[in-house]
Amino acid sequence: MAAKRYHVTTFGCQMNEHDSERMKGMLDSLGYAEASERSEADLILFNTCSIRESADSRFIAHLGEAKRLKSEDPARVVGVGGCWAQSVKDEVFRRFPFVDVAFGPGQIHRLAEFLTSDSLSAQGYFEFEDFAGHLPMKRAREFQGWIQISQGCNCACSYCIVPSTRGREQSRDPDEVLAEVERLAADGVLEVTLLGQNVNSYGRDLALERRISFSELLARVDAVEGIERLRYTSPHPKDMKEDVVRAHAELRSLCQHIHLPLQSGSSAVLKRMRRTYDRRRYMDRVALIREHVPDCALTTDIIVGFPGETEEDFAETLEVAEEVGYDGAFTFVFSPRRGTEAAEMEGMLPHAVKRERMQRLVEVVQRRATERGQRFVGRTMEVLVEGPSRNDPARLRGRTRHNKTVNFDGTAAPGELVDVEITGATSTTLSGAERLLSRAL
């Protein structure tokens, strides 16, 4: 009998990408096969995000197609996982009666239970039970791996729904994390990314006798043979302590890139966002990074048009972007997320004002990133080859330790670490050519 086929659509963050790789690994181990098209699948799955209302509406459009496919073949199974499913857990089956199974971020393993049970009546699983680290994984790239080190968030940023969908912070046992790193290294993975909503507050909730700090965890991962590159996402500026910054200068595999979400350059706006740091504290962290790792790439997240944001507030965001000179930035126009404090705030700005400010911010970010990118021109950078270039298949694409994308001429294969001479830089990518006597593992 032909294997049943599944199709997974993933929305949102790296944590969801990681969870989807687990879902696929688990389904493969159950004898399912992956379908390239949703219309070919017996099992249609969505791993959802709920960070912004716009994410919801985009997902609902996809769900509409699943409904049509199920009406054409009622034997099809439709499943919804992730943060959106968690955020509508009490109404998902009432609003979408064609959905057969729904599960929260910490419940992927329950999907297997549902699929192997003989009753196919609608089931929902929403209490966080365990990390997915024990589930098989189907990695998008054999040489790169995600490792979840914590779940949930203890912060209360006024615009964010994550604490209510992923719960309070829970750190994964350090030995379990290390065992998974060793397994991946033995499996040929040379770049690992540690994942958590707030990775740098790792360990605080662990039992005293098991407790280690984030910088200690970084040092233990760095010591694993075969791991050439170590990354992590997403940190919070309030926990970017000196020991973590020093680790970037001292640990062999820890990459020279720190993502430090700013959100706003105005202390007044940061206060209403409940970000727990102000502009001065944030700039202190930047100074600390520049002191210990002068060449470190810095990227960030910025929200434009938060309720009540004045022209003066926004001018402060532009000042910080100018002063820091980020290597890259994810910029978002504020959109109220139902169920958050910010959605009820006074002072909502007209969309035109938000759009106009976004244009000014993007101009500063791109100009500064282009200026910062020039520091790589003329240097030979170690690049992890990821595949063909997206804008020219005759060239290759890879990433430096600074997390800069490089499009280059060369002959290397995906998964190789090569030396590339950098000849040009834009705000987003570098360009160059592989040095022929390049290192190859």
Residues making contact with ligand SF4 (CB under 6 A): 153, 155, 157, 160, 162-163, 197-198, 236
Pick the closer one to ligand SF4 by CB: 153 or 192. Answer: 153
Q: How far is the CB of 236 from ligand SF4 (least distance, A)?
A: 5
Q: How far is the CB of 198 from ligand SF4 (least distance, A)?
A: 5
β-strand pairing of 123-125 with 101-103: parallel
Q: How far is the CB of 395 from ligand SF4 (least distance, A)?
A: 36
Sign of CA dihedral 14, 20, 24, 27: positive
Pick the closer one to ligand SF4 by CB: 47 or 50. Answer: 50
Secondary structure element (H or E) that encloses residue 275, with its range: none
Which residues make Cβ contacts (< 8 Å) with residue 67, sequence separation at least 6? 78, 96, 98
Residue 379: what residue type?
A: R
β-strand pairing of 33-34 with 43-48: unpaired
Q: How far is the CB of 159 from ligand SF4 (least distance, A)?
A: 7
What six digits make up the tokens of 59? 């997902």
3-state SS assignment for residue 402: coil
Residue 13 to residues 51, 83, 305: CA-CA distances in angstroms?
A: 9, 11, 22
Q: What burial class does residue 225 get, using C-beta atoms within 10 Å of its C-beta: 0-12 exposed, 13-18 middle, 19+ buried?
A: exposed
Pick the closer one to ligand SF4 by CB: 198 or 215. Answer: 198
Q: How far is the CB of 161 from ligand SF4 (least distance, A)?
A: 8
Q: How far is the CB of 263 from ligand SF4 (least distance, A)?
A: 8
The strand order across the sheet containing 297-304 reads 257-259, 297-304, 328-333
**Separation between Cα atoms, residue 339 and residue 87, nearest integer Å:** 9
**Location of structure tokens 């169920």:** 339
Residue 263 to residues 167, 248, 337, 344, 359: CA-CA distances in angstroms?
A: 22, 23, 16, 19, 16
Q: How far is the CB of 266 from ligand SF4 (least distance, A)?
A: 17
Task: Give the Cα-Cα-Cα angle 400, 51, 316 (nearest 5 degrees).
Answer: 70
Secondary structure element (H or E) that encloses residue 60, with its range: helix 53-72
Pick the closer one to ligand SF4 by CB: 100 or 239. Answer: 239
Q: How far is the CB of 50 from ligand SF4 (least distance, A)?
A: 11
**Location of structure tokens 């181990």:** 29
Pick the closer one to ligand SF4 by CB: 236 or 372. Answer: 236
Pick the closer one to ligand SF4 by CB: 163 or 325. Answer: 163
**Separation between Cα atoms, residue 32 and residue 37, nearest integer Å:** 15
**Separation between Cα atoms, residue 93 and residue 102, nearest integer Å:** 8
Pick the closer one to ligand SF4 by CB: 19 or 100. Answer: 19
Pick the closer one to ligand SF4 by CB: 229 or 275. Answer: 275
**Separation between Cα atoms, residue 365 and residue 347, nearest integer Å:** 26
Q: How far is the CB of 162 from ligand SF4 (least distance, A)?
A: 4
**Beta-bridge mates of residue 408:** 396, 432
Pick the closer one to ligand SF4 by CB: 50 or 431. Answer: 50
Contact 257, 299 (CB under 8 A): yes
Pick the closer one to ligand SF4 by CB: 231 or 402. Answer: 231
Residue 52 to residues 42, 46, 303, 355: CA-CA distances in angstroms?
A: 30, 17, 12, 17
Pick the closer one to ligand SF4 by CB: 157 or 189. Answer: 157
Q: How far is the CB of 259 from ligand SF4 (least distance, A)?
A: 12
Q: How far is the CB of 153 from ligand SF4 (least distance, A)?
A: 3
